[in-house]
Structure 1
Amino acid sequence: MTRLEDTHIENRQRVQPNHANNYGTVHGGNVMKWMDEIGAMSAMRLAGETCVTANIDEMDFIRPVPVGDTVLVESYVYDTGRTSVKVRLRASREEPRTGERERTTESRFVFVAIGDDGTPVEVPDLQVETDEERRLQQEALDAAGE
């Protein structure tokens, strides 16, 4: 069985002009795409199978990210169903020269594990063992209103 910490992934994307909207900040669709890709990787670490997006819950854009800054996406699995994997995702603006960070986006995605034939397959239970894992899981459950 997979532990919560084993599903934790961080990835960075430098915001380039081709990622920007008319205001010189990252287009929300790009942030959503990056979150979807990293979230699927967290889900696949737990499931051991390909995972596809089934639901996106409240994509909250808190502040913009200007061209030249970095978007840091963090994800981890916080709960499972029979074939589904719930992933918490957070994005932050990161100034590449100083490392200064501000939270910009939060969401929870649900992925479904699928087998080679494209049909849903069962996923293992998530193991939550340490105080830090319990804290992260509870934060995600609270944010989801569960």
Structure 2
Amino acid sequence: MVAVLETHIRNRFRVQPNHANNLGALHGGNLMKWLDEVAAMSAMRFAGETCVTARVDELDFKRPIPVGETALVESYVYDAGRTSVHVALRAWREAPRTGDLEETTGSSFTFVAVDDDGTPTPVPDLTVETEEGERLRERALEIAE
């Protein structure tokens, strides 16, 4: 069994001009790529296997992240099936000089664990061992409904 908090990852990406759209903000496709990469890390940490993206369940862009700021991406596993792994994601714009945060994006992705031959393989049960883990899981389940 793997606990929710064992899958919790936060990663930062500096938004550079080559990541921008014509409005000077992070291109949504670049953010989606970063979300997918961090979510895959959470899924693989949970499954102990390679995990491939099966579905983007939702992707809500709330506000832009300007060039020069940092994209902070958070992910964690909140549910699992027999071979599937459900990962909750959020992103924030972070001011590099102050650390001030503003939420910009909410999302959830579904991954499938695969073996060395690319065949779907079972994943462990997910456990919740702390109040923080329960809070994160409940938040993700409410959003997914």
Residue 33 of structure 1 aligns with an amino acid whose one-letter code is K
Offset of 1:127 from its aligned partner? 1.0
Q: What are structure 2's unaligned runs of at least 5 residues?
A: none
SS of 1:96's partner is coil
| Superposed counterparts of 1:47-126, under 5 Å | 47-126=47-126
- 2:42 touches 2:76 (CA, 8 Å); kept in 1? yes
Residue 86 of structure 1 aligns with an amino acid whose one-letter code is H
Aligned to 1:34: 34
Aligned to 2:3: 3
Of the structure 1 ranges 126-135 and 99-108, higher mean CA displacement relative to structure 2 is found in 126-135
Q: What are structure 1's unaligned runs of at least 5 residues?
A: none
- 2:115 touches 2:121 (CA, 8 Å); kept in 1? yes
Residue 17 of structure 1 aligns with an amino acid whose one-letter code is P
- With normalisation by structure 2, the TM-score equals 0.99
Q: Distance in 1 between matches of 2:70 and 2:131?
A: 30
Q: Distance in 2 between matches of 1:10 and 1:131?
A: 19
User: CA deviation digits over 1:30-88, x for unaligned, max 9?
Assistant: 00000000000000001000000001112000000100000000000000000000000
Aligned residues: 145
- With normalisation by structure 1, the TM-score equals 0.98
Residue 32 of structure 1 aligns with an amino acid whose one-letter code is M
Offset of 1:132 from its aligned partner? 1.3
Is residue 142 of structure 2 the alignment partner of residue 142 of structure 1?
yes
Q: Distance in 1 between matches of 2:40 and 2:53?
A: 7
> Post-superposition, which runs of at least 4 consecutive aligned residues in structure 1 deviate over 4 A?
none
Residue 8 of structure 2 aligns with an amino acid whose one-letter code is H
Q: Distance in 2 between matches of 1:6 and 1:132?
A: 12
Q: Distance in 1 between matches of 2:135 and 2:22?
A: 39
Q: What is the alpha-carbon root mean square deviation over aligned residues?
A: 0.5
Q: Distance in 2 between matches of 1:57 and 1:115?
A: 23
Residue 114 of structure 2 aligns with an amino acid whose one-letter code is I
Aligned to 1:132: 132
Q: Distance in 1 between matches of 2:78 and 2:10?
A: 15
